[in-house]
Structure 1
């Protein structure tokens, strides 16, 4: 079973994503902020990290940078509903920082599962 870490300060979103992924057969851990997410990531093995980009304290771009510093082969999916300017700029930055897929919220079940399948298939 593949292990996925979901990081999102929106607890309802985090729980919804975890439910979708668990029902698809993945083992899912959740973190509700960036620091907690990094701590959990460093204490276990994960095949994939899914992170929101706009969060208090530590934003997703910082999380991606730190994850890549710890393991430059880490597979990451970034997601965002955007801030004042919308999600596009944030998701472009995430891609430049090493996210393998970028999703705009709200995320549909099939969109999430297709992205997860594609990223986990990458070497």
Structure 2
């Protein structure tokens, strides 16, 4: 299975994602912020990354930019707990912005386990199908 790096400042989110992915057979490494995540990424080889957009210190967008400078084709799933506002006057939609900047998928927190696993499977399958082109970006929003 895949080796996945999860970068999120919320330890409960880290633990949840790690548990779900390890139960699905993946190897998971976690980091609590963008700087630590970048250092771990540079020291290892990963098949997929999860990046929280809003973290203290180095945020997920900056970490994604630096990671893509080193490995432009690494698939990155961005996450955010901030609500998606369809009204641009209320602020930008950071998940959509992140996919335009190179993330292959995005997840709105809180998300359902099935949505997380489907997103991971879709991203890994897309990489297998074509390592030379990125998968279409999409946002996964959890619902009731």
Q: Normalised by the size of structure 2, how large is the TM-score?
A: 0.81
Structure 2 unpaired stretches of 5+? 86-92, 131-144
The residue that corresponds to 1:47 in the other structure is 47
Structure 1 unpaired stretches of 5+? none
The residue that corresponds to 1:92 in the other structure is 96
Number of residue pairs the alignment of both structures matches: 120
Cα deviation per residue 1:10-43 (whole Å; 9 max; x = unaligned)?
Answer: 0111111000000000000000111000000011
- Written as runs of structure 1 = structure 2, the 5 A alignment for 1:1-123 is 1-82=1-82, 86-87=83-84, 89-122=93-126, 123=130
Q: CA deviation at 1:97?
A: 1.0
Q: Normalised by the size of structure 1, how large is the TM-score?
A: 0.94
Q: 1:70 to 1:58 in 2, by over 3 A?
A: same
The SS at the match of 1:25 is coil
Stretches of 4+ aligned residues off by more than 4 angstroms: none
Cα deviation per residue 1:63-118 (whole Å; 9 max; x = unaligned)?
Answer: 11111111100100001011xxx345110111011110111000110000000000
